[in-house]
Amino acid sequence: MAIDKLPVGFGSNAPLTNNKYKQSVGTDAAPASTATTATPKQDSVTLTPQAQRLSQVQQSLANTPAPDNSARLEALKKAINEGSYQVDSDRLAANISRFEQDLEGI
């Protein structure tokens, strides 16, 4: 792959002598002070139905109080520390599958 060599002054205030590079860095452009001021355009956003539904779900979740899982969490920590916690692979696979189906429905 060939790499074009840039003139020594490229990127600095040094004058450029090669027209090819003058045009690429915009030295022939009009000064910014001569630009006309235009009325700013109004931006707008349109949300898809999926984005609107997601926003509703987020608001619903934000208004729902978090459950108190501290007792269950402590029991899980204890089982893991004791080495007695067993992963139910069938239950885990079913939960992952249900989660993916729920995501498809959003």
Instruction: Give pLDDT tens digits for 36-92.
Output: 677 888 898 898 999 999 999 999 999 998 889 999 999 999 999 999 999 999 999
Q: How confident is the model at residue 7 (pLDDT cuts 50, 70, 90)?
A: low
Of the candidates 34, 15, 38, which has an alpha carbon nearest to the alpha carbon of residue 25? 15
Output phi, psi for 93, to 5 deg: -60, -40
